[in-house]
Amino acid sequence: MTGILLTNDDGAGSPALVPFARALADLGEVRVCVPDRERSWIGKAITRTEAVLLEETTVDGHPVWTCSGYPADAAQLGIHELGDRLPDLVVSGINLGFNHGAAFLMSSGTVGAAVEGWISGIPAIAFSTGVWDGDWADWRARAESPEAKAAWEELAATCVTILRDLREADLFAHADVISVNLPFDATPATPRRVTDIARVGYDRLFRATGPGTYEHDFLTITRWDELAGTDVAVAGEGGVSITPVRLPRAAAVPDEVRRRVEG
């Protein structure tokens, strides 16, 4: 039976956690290890100088391990400290909010947890959802309400269908980490596209709230390149973007530049 580690960066309180864990049980034996609180925007940070607490609990009747550290800590502990064998697959998500475009993918704790799987030599995939139009804060409030439970169950089932299809298509053999971004109302019939990562960045990230004090503020996205065929473009079209990521990858340098550098 396939062993699956499920983790996330939204923590044990994520409305996606238990629906996704239960849906993934159709594919194998699922163990869950997540941060004990939301740890968004932390990338692949990992704890080095402090002790990390690992505790077993239940969420909505489902067994869950929580850790006091970051998403990558949860993945690392879930891979190596839980169960009697290594998992065959690391699944991270479903994140509340898209993780598309270079700046956001590199900042994502959801993707960072999947990268930790790759570092341990285990196929890994990250799922993220959101809405393209409308007020994001309003959507998140609705997504976290009890009334959204059925929607999360439907989305979790859709993610499992996509995961099954990607395994059958052998996409994992051509990627170190797969990043999937899909609309909150996605179904198995929603169009899918294999995409590149949009080269987008953000502008000023903090605002002053007092002398020497700054808080995270809403982002201003700066587009660097054309978006056609990228994860961001597909999200704007209402589709499912499937991005196979290779890590790490050095830039291709023209021979003339190489000769000037190397002498």
- pLDDT tens for each residue of 200-229: 988 888 999 999 999 988 767 776 778 899
| Per-residue confidence (pLDDT) for residue 219, from 0 to 100 | 67
Helices (H) and strands (E) in the chain, counts: 8, 13
How large is the average pLDDT for residues 222-241? Answer: 89
Q: Which of the listed CATH numbers 3.10.300.10, 3.30.300.30, 3.40.1210.10, 3.40.50.300 matches domain 3-198+228-262? A: 3.40.1210.10
**Tens-place pLDDT, residues 96-106:** 999 999 999 99
**Tens-place pLDDT, residues 55-97:** 999 999 999 999 999 999 999 999 999 999 999 999 999 999 9
User: How many other C-beta atoms can be found within 10 angstroms of the C-beta atom of residue 18?
Assistant: 21
Using 50, 70 and 90 to split pLDDT, how confident is the model at 137? Answer: confident
Question: Cα 136 to chain center, whole Å?
Answer: 18
Could you report how far apart the first and last alpha carbons of the chain are, in Å? 55
How large is the average pLDDT for residues 131-138? Answer: 81
CB 136 within 8 A of CB 219: no
Residue 10 backbone dihedrals phi, psi, to 5 degrees: -90, -5
Q: DSSP state, 252?
A: P
Scanning the structure block, which residue is given the tokens 């903090």?
A: 206
**Tens-place pLDDT, residues 152-178:** 999 999 999 999 999 999 999 999 999
CB 193 within 8 A of CB 242: yes
